Amino acid sequence: MNKLDSELAAGQLEAAGFVPARDEESACLVLLNTCSVRAKAQDKATSVLSDYTQDERARNGHRLVGVMGCVAQQMKERLLTAPYHADFVLGTGNISQLREILERLLAGERGILAYEPECSGWDYDPSTVRRKSLRSAFVAVSRGCSNLCSYCIVPYVRGTIRHREPKSIIEEVKLLTETGCIDVCLLGQNVNAYRYDGVEFVHLLERLAHIDGMRRLRFITTHPKDLCLDTVKMMAHPPFAPYISMPLQSGSDRVLCLMNRGYTKEEYMEKVCWLREHVEGCFISSDIMVGFPGETDADFEDTLQVVRLAQFDNVYSFIYSPRPFTKAAGFGNEVEREVVKARFERLLALQRENNTKRLRPFVRKTVEVLVDGMSRKDRSACCGRSPQNIIVNLPDDRCEIGELVLAEITKAGIHSLVGKVTKRLMPAPAPKP
């Protein structure tokens, strides 16, 4: 969601006549998009903000500095004063007001706060979103979340769930495919909870699946309690990509209940079985939290047991971080730091084994890769994603962002594959005039 919001903001900046700076030094405006899901992300955002407004402003007096995203929504006017001194703060539902704010800034105004809780966030022109590639797009179907998981700050900084009108979603996706997009990722904090005037998520998927040109249709994030069998069965057929992100959070029923997640480990495993049964080669990615208040050794063993059973293809693991406004922040019962660290390491080690097992069978196989950027390790090499959303590095090939190729896999790592292009299927689409 933050990536999409950055693209929405970049589109507004371009529409106002701004162009991307060559480097940070030469930028006349810096807009920080921020996350507050864990304390570390929030601290990083405020520390980067202070660097910009204190040290850098001393050197470059004209630079404007703004903050958007969850930290902006959470801290609001506090970011306009010491020690942060942002010039403007943009709430999570206010991105479409950026253009108007830029005009006010250019007219000399400072200290602008645009913050409207529960703002729909849909009032933007889809043709102005500045995407990295014309081949891939994030499309939001809902914003906010009404689940109130006891550890999570999202409902407080992104508001309760607001669903987007199906017509508007379908029009945007049609517009995207007409300009060469083949890979759409639908976004919602709890995407399966989508419903609008009797149109449920599965109905929306059905309509989108029929749009010409669609090759990879994905959605994130799936809440296990809201994933239904109809959706899973639909995922079995093209253009659905064999990929799902379905956070487990904990494998202990006691902790799941304290987290207010609304499912048991058995219910979670049932959904994993549906996916394994109906969606061939489906990659299942999960999020798991370690050190929730009062988590015992037995609770943690339950989590490891589910990780072993589910054989996740990938896991994002997090150490619990108490967040303002949330119920769990008042639970007390903190787990000792050393204990949490040791559990976290065990989870990482187990998942590393699983990842290796899941990626090894790709060696010597041919996979379709949609090139989406340069490799992190070697900036001259390109990389892309397989239909299962696995990163594939192509170190010996020169490709353009947006190209679709076939690659033979030569090596499997823990989190990514290495391949060699064997066939070029589609060139990068021509940019908009």
Interacting residue ranges for ligand 5AD, rule: CB under 6 A: 37-38, 151-152, 247, 249, 287, 289, 318, 320-321, 323
321 binds, among ligand 5AD, ligand SF4, none (CB under 5 to 8 A by kind): ligand 5AD
C-alpha 70: how far from chain center: 13
Shortest Å distance, C-beta 328 to ligand 5AD: 7
Contacts to ligand SF4 by CB under 6 A: 145, 147-149, 152, 154-155, 189-190, 223
Region for 15 from its dihedrals, namely left if φ exceeds 0, alpha if ψ lies in -120 to 50, beta otherwise:
alpha
User: Which residues share a beta bridge with 75?
Assistant: none
Q: Which of 386, 385, 410, 414 is nearest to 396 (CA)?
A: 410
Angle at CA 382, nearest 5°, toward 379 and 383?
120
- The number of C-alpha atoms within 13 Å of 3 and in the hemisphere containing its C-beta is 12
Q: Which lies closer to ligand SF4 via its Cβ, residue 152 or residue 214?
A: 152
147 binds, among ligand SF4, ligand 5AD, none (CB under 5 to 8 A by kind): ligand SF4
**Measured between alpha carbons, how far apart are the two ends of the chain, in Å?**
27
Q: Which lies closer to ligand SF4 via its Cβ, residue 152 or residue 359?
A: 152
For residue 298 the two structure tokens come to 């037995």
How far, in Å, are 153, 215, 246, 251 from residue 148 at the CA level? 8, 34, 17, 19
Q: Which lies closer to ligand 5AD via its Cβ, residue 5 or residue 403?
A: 5
Q: Which lies closer to ligand SF4 via its Cβ, residue 92 or residue 190?
A: 190
Region for 325 from its dihedrals, namely left if φ exceeds 0, alpha if ψ lies in -120 to 50, beta otherwise:
left
Shortest Å distance, C-beta 289 to ligand SF4: 9
Shortest Å distance, C-beta 36 to ligand 5AD: 10
Q: Which lies closer to ligand SF4 via its Cβ, residue 193 or residue 391?
A: 193
3-state secondary structure (DSSP) of residue 374:
strand
Q: Are 347 and 307 in contact (CB under 8 A)?
A: yes
Q: Which lies closer to ligand 5AD via its Cβ, residue 324 or residue 413?
A: 324
318 binds, among ligand 5AD, ligand SF4, none (CB under 5 to 8 A by kind): ligand 5AD
Q: Are 72 and 94 in contact (CB under 8 A)?
A: no
For residue 309 the two structure tokens come to 């059973």
CB atoms within 10 A of CB 31: 23
35 binds, among ligand SF4, ligand 5AD, none (CB under 5 to 8 A by kind): none
| DSSP assignment letter at 120 | -
289 binds, among ligand 5AD, ligand SF4, none (CB under 5 to 8 A by kind): ligand 5AD
For residue 67 the two structure tokens come to 């903050």
C-alpha 303/C-alpha 288 separation (Å) is 8
155 binds, among ligand 5AD, ligand SF4, none (CB under 5 to 8 A by kind): ligand SF4
3-state secondary structure (DSSP) of residue 320:
coil
Shortest Å distance, C-beta 73 to ligand SF4: 14
Q: Which lies closer to ligand SF4 via its Cβ, residue 149 or residue 391?
A: 149
Shortest Å distance, C-beta 101 to ligand 5AD: 28
Shortest Å distance, C-beta 259 to ligand SF4: 8
Shortest Å distance, C-beta 221 to ligand SF4: 7
Shortest Å distance, C-beta 38 to ligand 5AD: 5
Q: In sequence order, which residues have a C-beta less than 8 Å from that of residue 298 and are 6 or more positions away? A: 252
Shortest Å distance, C-beta 295 to ligand 5AD: 12
Shortest Å distance, C-beta 116 to ligand SF4: 20
369 binds, among ligand 5AD, ligand SF4, none (CB under 5 to 8 A by kind): none
Q: Which of 322, 319, 368 is nearest to 345 (CA)?
A: 319
Q: Which of 154, 386, 322 is nearest to 247 (CA)?
A: 154
Q: Which of 333, 341, 321 is nearest to 152 (CA)?
A: 321
38 binds, among ligand SF4, ligand 5AD, none (CB under 5 to 8 A by kind): ligand 5AD
Q: Which lies closer to ligand SF4 via its Cβ, residue 88 or residue 151?
A: 151
Q: Which lies closer to ligand SF4 via its Cβ, residue 249 or residue 351?
A: 249
Q: Which lies closer to ligand SF4 via its Cβ, residue 260 or residue 410?
A: 260
